[in-house]
Chains A and B, each alone.
Chain A
Amino acid sequence: MDAAIELDGLRRAYGDRVALRDVSITVPAGETLVVLGPNGAGKTTLLRVLATLLRPSAGNAAVLGCELPRSAWRLRGRLGYLGHDPLLYRDLTVAENLRFHARLHGLEADADTRATSLLDHVGMGRRRDELVRNLSAGMAQRVAVCRTLLHEPELLLLDEPHAHLDPEAADLVEPLLGPAAGRTRVVVTHDPQRGLAAADRALVLGHGGAVAYRGPAREISPADLRGIYGGEPA
């Protein structure tokens, strides 16, 4: 099976502070990688590097067969990135935001139909004409899920995708974002049980961005899990 993600000695630093240190892992296409670790371990940095929003400082990285950062432009439009920020304009309505993203991705007229279908799926169909600034954080997150999926990406990069969502909303988005959708996924989460249950592989980052565990998700031990959140931030 082709590798969707290949990282070899990946490092990312912000000035003197190292956020990711010697990260190496391969994720075959169609599989899910869950990324665990305490606050400040570099999980979001890893996701932003994979999304081409940050350049690696050293090491090799290839995503969907494209070397980073050299061929980052080839990845544009092929990734679905759901980060801490919903990437929605507060002074546009839900529908206007999705239409804007559809036009950025060069989608044709049927994008409106697809946007409507996604909004209905996450229970936001009746809010399509509301300004995003009037939505709660959970509602904005549901719209952000639609924005992430609108252009039918090959690879999903999800940073705490259930943040702000109540259990009912989490159940609504799960069929869209979950492993059943069949896409390659990288999921950053602070919920190890839920994350590991839906993952094929796990990457655990410790303080300072060093790899504490990498391997099959089902083989991660309770001791590994307990050790994840211990210690002081680097």
Chain B
Amino acid sequence: MCGTCGCAHQTITLEQKILARNDELAARNRDWLAQRGVLAINLMSSPGAGKTTLLERTARDLGLVLSVIEGDQETALDASRISAAGCKVVQINTGAGCHLDAAMVAGALTELDPPALSVLMIENVGNLVCPALFDLGETARVVISSVTEGDDKPAKYPHMFARADLVLVNKTDLLPYLDFDLARHAADIKRLSPAAQILEVSAVTGSGMADWYSWLLRPPARG
């Protein structure tokens, strides 16, 4: 009975996590991937930071058949580019949705069926806010921060960078034309995620990409 007005209402204590369903599915994805020895990277950035270009170059340089889940609100443009680079790809169009969730990834995994000991790239929806909250079951989180976006992005979008295992500072070939403070950018990332690694790359010229490949082939264990 309601303690306030004596009516028949009743309060039921739930103490349940709101994202419990997503977290359960993410744990299932993580088990599924671990059983096959698949390394799954959740690749996040703002739109236009160079996620697809980085994946194209990575696949071509390493000669690896990557399995790729492409998340975009609309179109299969990125899936076509990735497919042309020789990768197996599934496009997810989220429509009004601003991020991928664990259920979408579970569906895509069934369709992609990545081979044992392979690399799965999950290219999240271009957005520095919403994808940060949703565990997909990935092995590691990689955030691309491109220098054309400005060096204040870690400070402005802290949730995204606080959960990053690796930050790739992309488009470094454009640094001579920009007022971008690499030291300030790195210091802000370290304040948010002391354990995060930072690598400077250009997916267009290939500069620094060897460090990314070394990381990818031997990523640190997640804490």
A and B form one complex: no
A-to-B contact residues, CB < 8 Å = none
